[in-house]
Structures are given as C-alpha cells and as structure tokens.
C-alpha cells in the first residue's frame, strides 16, 4: 500500500542551525510529494511540493528533492528561525483528486 | 487569511451525544472536500471524501453510520459524530479542493479538537 514515514519529533534546534527532517515513502505508481506546515492554532499550509523524480520544491528557504531511487523527500533548511517552529507533515498523492496520505508529523521547536 | 474554515475549533461533548463539525470554503466553491482525523503522535488519516450533492465516499474501516457527512452546498460540508464515545476523541481536519485551469489546489481548515467525556 501507500504510506509515508517521517522522522520522529520533537526536533529542537537553536536559531540559525541547519534543519533536516527525513521523509520516506512507499507508493504504487508515480506519486506527487508534499510538505505541509502547521503553525500553532492554524490549519495545514502547503510549504512545497514536487511532482516527479528529481524535482526540487522550494519555499521560504526550505527545500526538498524528490528522490525516486531512495524513495525519499527530505526537508532541509540552511538556517532556521524561531518563526519556523511548527509541525511539519510529509505527504503523498497518487492522483490529482486531492486525497493525501500523510506522515505522522514532526514537531520543530527553534530556540533563540 | 483562511480560505477554509472549520467550526468549532474545540468541542467537549458527553458520551452518547452527537456533535457536528462544519467545514466551509470561504471564497471558492468546492465540489469535493475531505475529512481527516489525527490521533496524538500519529498521521492524519483520511476518513472520507465529501462530494457535493451525493453520498460521501468512506475509506476502508471508517463507519459511515457513525461519521455522517453531508455536503449540502458548494461551500459547506459537515461531519457529525453520532453517539460519540471517548475513543472518538481526536483532532478532525477538513480540506477543500479548489479547481482551476492550472490544476487543483488543496486548502486545509484549522482543525477541530473533539473531546468526549
């Protein structure tokens, strides 16, 4: 079946540290891959996406590359800020219909 | 600002009662919405696809008689948890699909915390 596995949190970093949140997936067919972010008290927001192998999604300094050979879509940011503190969800979609399969989420806490 | 809104954000209900959660698309029409639930430290799990004007499509293992979904208009879907029990306590979140010439965009609501006591 289709599934997404993320590294467990919480992840605690100091401001300006490098961030990696690992995400691997299992899918039949050719999924699109997503990272969503949920700030405290808010809904999920799309952070970035990639629709085919070797695509790199990027937004707000975050980036992730669709690696088909390792079935991974790791999220990275070179220098995190306190305002990046949130829960990050990796997800995949097999179709354009809008159904998403999520990882369990990784809580990031950035300390000043 | 939010383009999909859920209400209520928090609800506490007594065991055996029913509770309704609303999901509204604020500035677009959504023929399709999705309902997810999330247990602590676990993934968001898709419960059902809500289709305007027709019956919802439930995922395997989701009780359709317990989780009633009504998508009566192009901007509103409701999830009613009937005869709620403590094990139904969870975080419920909806999303709405915005269709456009360039493809579909998915917007999520803020989520609703349900506690059954």
In tens, the pLDDT along B17-52 reads 999 999 999 999 999 999 999 887 778 899 999 999
Backbone angles phi, psi at B86, to 5 degrees: -55, -30
- Mind telling me how many Å the CA of A68 is from chain B's nearest CA? 22
In tens, the pLDDT along B68-96 reads 999 989 999 999 999 999 999 999 999 99
Contact across the interface for B6 and A100, Cβ inside 8 Å: no
- Cα separation, A58 vs A85, whole angstroms: 18
**How confident is the model at residue B104, as a pLDDT?**
83
Strand partners, A55: none
CA distances from B72 to B33, B98, B110 (A): 12, 17, 21
Contact across the interface for A43 and B111, Cβ inside 8 Å: yes
Of B41, B103, B108, the CB nearest to A43: B108
State yes or no: pLDDT of B2 exceeds 70. no
Pairing, β A86-93 against β A101-102: antiparallel
In tens, the pLDDT along A32-58 reads 999 999 888 777 899 999 999 999 999
Q: Which residues from A are below 8 Å from B when comparing CB atoms?
A: 4, 36, 41-46, 89, 96-105
For A3-105, where are the E strands, in sequence order? Answer: 3-6, 11-14, 19-21, 23-26, 32-38, 44-50, 56-59, 62-65, 75-77, 86-93, 101-102
Q: Count CB neighbours of A91 within 10 A.
A: 27
Contact across the interface for A100 and B34, Cβ inside 8 Å: yes
Strand partners, B116: B13
Tell me which chain A residue has its CA closest to the CA of residue B9: A41
DSSP letter string over A29-52? Answer: S--EEEEEEE-TTS-EEEEEEE-S
Residues of chain A with pLDDT under 70: none
């Amino acid at each position: 079946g289709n599934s997404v596995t993320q590294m467990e949190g919480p992840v605690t970093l100091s401001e300006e540290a490098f961030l990696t949140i690992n995400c691997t997936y299992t899918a039949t067919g050719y999924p699109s891959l997503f990272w969503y972010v949920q700030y405290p008290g808010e809904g999920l927001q799309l952070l970035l996406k990639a629709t085919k192998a070797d695509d790199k999604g990027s937004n707000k300094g975050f980036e992730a590359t669709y690696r088909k050979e390792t079935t991974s879509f790791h999220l990275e940011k070179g220098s995190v800020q306190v305002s990046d503190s949130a829960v990050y969800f990796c997800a995949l979609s097999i179709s354009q219909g809008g159904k998403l399969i999520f990882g369990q989420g990784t809580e990031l806490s950035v300390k000043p | 600002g939010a383009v999909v809104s859920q209400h209520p954000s928090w609800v506490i209900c007594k065991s055996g009662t029913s509770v309704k959660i609303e999901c509204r698309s604020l500035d677009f029409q959504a023929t399709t919405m999705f309902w997810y639930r999330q247990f602590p430290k676990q993934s968001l799990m898709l419960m059902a696809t809500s289709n305007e004007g027709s019956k919802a499509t439930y995922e395997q293992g989701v009780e359709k008689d317990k989780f009633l979904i009504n998508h009566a208009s192009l901007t509103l879907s409701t999830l009613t948890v009937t005869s709620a029990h403590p094990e139904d306590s969870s975080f419920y979140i909806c999303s709405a699909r915005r269709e456009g010439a360039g493809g579909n965009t998915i917007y999520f609501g803020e989520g609703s915390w349900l506690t059954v006591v």
